[in-house]
Amino acid sequence: ACGDGVESVMLALEFKLERSSTSFYIVRFIEAVCKTTAGRKALCRPLAPPTWTPPTKVTIVDGQLPESSIHVILTVIEKILLTSVNTINSTRYILIMCFRQKTLQAPLSINNYKEKLQLLLHLEEYQMERDIRRYNVPNDNLQEVTMQRDSFNEELLVLKITAENRPTLQRGDQLLVYPVGEIKKKYRGYVHSVQLDSVKLGFSKELLDIFVKGMTFHIEFTVNRLNLRTQHRATEFAVRSGLAAVLFPLLNFCFFLKPLLYRLFDRKLGKNPEQYRAVQHIVAGSSKPAPYLLFGPPGTGKTVTVVEAIKQIAKCKPQSCILVCAFTNKAADFLCESLLTDGETQVLRIYAKSYNPQDVPDSLKDCCNLVGDYFEFPKGTKDLKSVNITTLLTSSRFVTDNFPEGHFTHVFVDGAECAREPECILPLAGLLDPNTGQVVLAGDPKQLGPIIRSRFAQRFGMGLSLLERLMTDLPLYQKTNGVFDNRFVTKLLRNYRSHPAILQIPNELFYDGELQAYADEQRNSCCSFGPLPQKGFPIIFHKVTDSSSSFLLFNNAEVDVLMDYVKDLLQTQGNNGLSNISPQDIGIIAPYRKQVQKILARLSELNMCLLQVGTLEEFQGQERRVILVSTVRIILTYSTCFCFNQWFNVAVNRAKALLIVVGNPEIFISYCKEKGGYKW
């Protein structure tokens, strides 16, 4: 050693019971300490008498689930799912990072499909566990919490905790609470319902008997592993079911079927050659067994095209059984409502048992699996309809309940760019017959992709959706001589949403300048807005500089500017040729939840609570006549952690008639220079 200090290295010993058996590891850490003579003497003197604290055995008392039937379902799922999928701890995380680098760095193929994706899921879970601990109480914001009995059901306790002080919770999730000072017993509570500033929980009778008003508690939040476990299973079933020709298609595996013509349900599609062509090829199955990709930039009618294709298949191929999946329940509801417009298509909207029945739109209550006050999953194929709509996660229940492989002849995934690959294959692995089934992926790889918490999982490919991987890696889905092969992919080109000035920037940056402006006259409705620097050009970039070098997640100066614009929009209705603008016409996008909260608080002070304010993830797939964007320091964050290009693209394309961006132009220009996108 050349100086004082401590050097720590990890020693990992690999063992096998037999040559063919699975390896296991024993890990030890070795420290080398180099000290001066005085330092070595100091090491020999203990700072305090040695003490030993025996570990405390903690008992966990189970709570009350939202309903008895859920307990049965969860028990069945726990038995059927991959019981070999263990939780990941810090030692296992270190082993993955040290000994599986070769697998993680290798390109994804059918040969390493299960192994690599499961490693990435483990890395993601480890980060999820770390992230959720930040909400445990006590923390920097809360030292303890209180609960009270529910006024409608005394067997439930209401935990008073605001949304910003807790992770995202849904019905059926669980957490642990224990009275302040208690070290030997924790009580598991199940979420029965979630409100903005409170959560209703079901606990055991033991806790209810000792509970008194004013009692203080500590909390430990837990990760719901059901989603992760179904994804682990899907990666295994994908290989076992022989989905190589679907996940890694080759040109010589594909059959070429002649597109067929049918009477359109939505006759407007007949005037759009790209939409019409896509429906033809999807109905004909021209890409089989390869997935058909519908590349739908913002405002180009992607969902309309998907709905038309589903209706055509249901009518022209009456023996087919179609499974339609969306990333969120709201998106699935929208698809279902669109499919019901003609009154001919037989549709079943399938909700998870954990979903709140009060959130079901009235228009869907007669065509969903709501029985009484609860949702019942189809018991067999006889309970299905011609078209069955659900979320990606809920679709995994078909595998759990042993629905026969091949019963679903067509699988549609809308919003496929949002789902990481193990999520996207949930309705495929174990359900789709690769020889006869057809897959359609609809989405836009230029918009926000999957939300990944682990930077290592992101680095090694978890942030790449199946849709984006196919378009990036496989020649089938790439342009030849500047055009796509419409047997496998169609890019929609006509934008029916935005003013040409708003469309121009993302069109040139992300879509090769191919998009065409086809929006109606409402696109010009804000061209005379008073504060516009240039009338007829409905875009404002309002400069707000911040001398602070800190990476704050909010900016009060930007909030002030946003409020001024909101007042101008709502107070100048009908003046100077500007048509009426209602609060529902306005959307405000911010990159961070903290900034969203600041904006909501100011709007509440001004009695303007009808405006939608949210992060970009909440706005994806939506549109507003007027969009205001608060950038805070989004460019610095997204240039290192996420894809700023996708964030910028989605934010700009939400606006139909007016776009107002509030932020620091110097930061934006610096980012463009750094990435080579700045011209002068």
522-549 residue pLDDT tens: 888 888 888 888 888 999 989 887 655 4
Q: What is the pLDDT of residues 66-88, one digit of tens each?
A: 864 444 444 444 444 444 455 66
Binned at pLDDT 50, 70 and 90, residue 648 comes out as confident
Binned at pLDDT 50, 70 and 90, residue 679 comes out as low
Supply the pLDDT for residue 641. 39
Supply the pLDDT for residue 29. 73
Supply the pLDDT for residue 640. 40
Binned at pLDDT 50, 70 and 90, residue 333 comes out as very high
CB 176 within 8 A of CB 133: no
Specify the CATH class of 239-492 in words. Answer: alpha beta
Binned at pLDDT 50, 70 and 90, residue 13 comes out as confident
Supply the pLDDT for residue 195. 85
Kindly report the pTM of this predicted structure.
0.84
What is the C-alpha separation between 254 and 286, in angstroms, rounded? 8
Supply the pLDDT for residue 57. 82
Binned at pLDDT 50, 70 and 90, residue 228 comes out as very high
Binned at pLDDT 50, 70 and 90, residue 576 comes out as low
Q: State the average pLDDT for the chain.
A: 85
Q: HSE on the CB side for 140, CA within 13 Å?
A: 3
**606-643 in b/e burial notation, b at 16+ Cβ within 10 A?**
eebeebebbebeebbbebbbbbbbbbbbbbebbbeebb
Supply the pLDDT for residue 631. 85
Angle between helix 392-400 and 226-240 (nearest 10): 60
Lowest mean per-residue pLDDT among 214-228, 276-290, 304-318, 662-676: 662-676
Lowest mean per-residue pLDDT among 122-126, 167-171, 208-212, 494-498: 167-171
Supply the pLDDT for residue 82. 43
Binned at pLDDT 50, 70 and 90, residue 41 comes out as low
Q: Among candidates 391, 390, 389, which has minimal Cα distance to 419?
A: 391
Q: Return the structure tokens found at 441.
A: 């992926």
Q: What is the pLDDT of residues 143-167, one digit of tens each?
A: 999 999 999 999 999 999 988 789 9
Q: Which residue has the higher pLDDT, 50 or 266?
A: 266
Supply the pLDDT for residue 257. 61
Burial of 166 (0-12, 13-18, 19+ CB in 10 A): buried
Residue 462 has pLDDT above 60, yes or no: yes
The CATH number of the structural domain formed by 500-674 is 3.40.50.300
Residue 678 has pLDDT above 80, yes or no: no
Residues of each domain in the chain carrying CATH 3.40.50.300: 239-492, 500-674
* 465: DSSP letter: B
Binned at pLDDT 50, 70 and 90, residue 281 comes out as very high
Q: What is the pLDDT of residues 390-428, one digit of tens each?
A: 999 999 999 999 999 999 999 999 999 999 999 999 999
Share of the chain above pLDDT 90, in %: 56
Q: What are the phi and psi torsion angles at 286 (to 5°)?
A: -65, -20
